Amino acid sequence: MVIMPRGIHLFFYTIILTSFSNLSAKESKKEVEQTGELKSEIKAYILHHLQDSHDFNLLSYKDKTTNEKVNIGMPLPVILWDDGLKVFSSSKLKHGKNVVSSGDNHYKLYHGKIYRTDAQGTITYDEHHHPTNAMPIDFSITKNVISILFTALLMFVLFRGLAQSYKKNGMIAKGVGRFFEPIVLYVRDEIAIPNIGEKHHRRFMGYLLTLFFFIWFLNLLGLTPLGINVTGNIAITFCLALITFVITTLVGKKYYWKHIFWMPGVPWPMKIILAPIELLGLIIKPFSLMIRLYANISAGHIVLMSLIALIFIFKNWIGSSLSFILAFSISIIEILVALLQAYIFTVLSALYFGFAVEEHDENIDH
Amino acid sequence: MEKLINEFSFGLFFWQLFIFIGLVLLLRKFAWKPILDSLNERETSIKDAMNAAEEAKKEMASIQEDNQKVLKEARAEREALLKEARSSGAEIVAQAKTEAKAEADKIIAQAQESIQNEKRAALNELKNQVAQISLDIAEKVIDSELDSKDKQYKLVNQLIKDASL
């Protein structure tokens, strides 16, 4: 545990641990100002946490003497495509305080995004205060990419171990993988087979199992004090939803497409009305997958962080301990949500695959 | 929506797509396939074992039934044998009894016959001896009696007397 110096702002567990020990209770006007400042700081911090980062920050604090923010963590490689590959360490960006020159171009970090600037790092804005500077394509190994890589590696080691333990122990799982065996069985027997059917389920198992454990592990990783928010990032959920959509479209059989473009069993004017609705449904299904996971995880992080932040806004025994109890309960709920969201995403994907590969006897009315 | 689009990072999307698809392919080959195969294999082997056990149980039951049947038959046979033995024993005894009786009767009859014969022989001999003795006596009496005329006469009279009975 790091010994925290008195009178500085400490960011730990991605929230602000703020100590106003030098503040007198009698100076109530000043306190209100300070609280207002604290609230906006908390808001900025929560929003900052929800976004991806070019550094792997563990904690940061404001040095009282120089009044500068000090970050503790590790820098990550920045990879840009801007008329050629540009690679440099994120430590050069100094959290947006520095202009990095790579080749003939200059780059600056502004609100979590890298912009091309001039040598002085000038950023021009439009009327909505959005930067108008050109943006290189950013392939940086960000905090989220590191988390994804870590999860992928963990999953590979874990499930490779489980697969090998069967061979070694005569069809009986051993070791850590043993814990996951019933879950693998659950995904097969309760998610894949009921939704897709005994006949076709096998070819989707690889995707469904990977999807389930990937989302679950990343959700859980988001609840650790490392301050990771991968599944609450729109690019991640978009990617997962897109894969589900692509698979659904590729495996769709005649019966599936017939149901979309020319619904059987309804009069022809209805068929014409239903076709665009069904076509829209094609997009809405994966879109809802994307938004559901993103919103649930983001909301969970916001609520949890806000509740923890309340402890430092109340700054008294009753309010702070109540906030703590609330934050603790929400954390436990979030552990359930982590599993639940992984389950929902997997079940719905399986359901969509089930629709796509469904086979029906043309003569049977339904 | 604008916020979402603003938040969207193409780089992150690229890495996620790349890593995730790689992960799916790798896990499919090295983990899910062997795991699911093993699970399937285990399930079928358990099912087979259960079926085999069920069959063995049935077989066991049929064997037991057979045993029961054989036992029952054996018991019935023993019963029959015993019954037969008992009845034949009685028969033998009865036969022996009749045979013995017949033998005894025969022996008795023979004994009676021989006794009769003996008796007859003895009587004959006695008769002969009595006749001999009578003759002897008659000879002596005649010898002694018939030396006088008177006496002869008396005797003749006597004889005539007796003979006229």
pLDDT, chain B, mean:
88
Asked if the C-beta of B32 comes within 8 angstroms of chain A's C-beta atoms, the answer is: yes
Measured between CA atoms, how close is A141 to chain B, in angstroms? 8
Least CB-CB distance to A166: which of B9, B17, B34?
A: B34
d(CA A146, CA A172) in angstroms, rounded, equals: 33
Which pLDDT tens digit goes with each residue over A163-217?
888 888 777 777 787 889 899 999 999 999 999 988 888 989 999 999 999 999 9
How is chain B split into domains, by residue range?
A: 2-164
Given a contact cutoff of 8 angstroms between Cβ atoms, the answer to whether A258 and A275 are in contact is no
The dihedral built from the CA positions of residue A86, A89, A90 and A93, taken in this order, carries a sign that is: negative
Contacts of A156 in chain B (CB under 8 A): 23, 26-27, 30-31
> In this complex, do A210 and B11 lie within 8 Å of one another by their Cβ atoms?
no
Q: How confident is the model at residue B165 (pLDDT cuts 50, 70, 90)?
A: low
Closest residue in B to A152 (Cα) is B23
Q: How confident is the model at residue B3 (pLDDT cuts 50, 70, 90)?
A: confident
For residue B148, what is the DSSP state?
S
Measured between CA atoms, how close is A137 to chain B, in angstroms? 7
Residue A83: phi and psi, rounded to 5, are 55, 50
> In this complex, do B12 and A145 lie within 8 Å of one another by their Cβ atoms?
yes
Q: How many residues does chain B have?
A: 165
Measured between CA atoms, how close is B44 to chain A, in angstroms? 12
β-bridge partners, A73: A57
Which pLDDT tens digit goes with each residue over A269-305?
888 888 888 889 899 999 999 999 999 999 999 999 9
Averaged pLDDT for residues A63-75: 78
Residue A25: its pLDDT value, please?
42
Asked if the C-beta of B3 comes within 8 angstroms of chain A's C-beta atoms, the answer is: no
d(CA A239, CA A235) in angstroms, rounded, equals: 6
Return all residues near A332 (Cβ < 8 A) that are at least 6 apart: none
Residue A7 in this model has a pLDDT that exceeds 50: no
Determine the longest span between alpha carbons in chain B, in angstroms. 204
Q: How confident is the model at residue A26 (pLDDT cuts 50, 70, 90)?
A: very low
Averaged pLDDT for residues B79-85: 93
- Regarding predicted confidence, which is higher, A338 or A9? A338
Residue A361 in this model has a pLDDT that exceeds 70: no
Residue A321 in this model has a pLDDT that exceeds 80: yes
Measured between CA atoms, how close is B52 to chain A, in angstroms? 19
Least CB-CB distance to A171: which of B12, B15, B42?
A: B42
Residue A3 CA, distance from chain mean position? 31
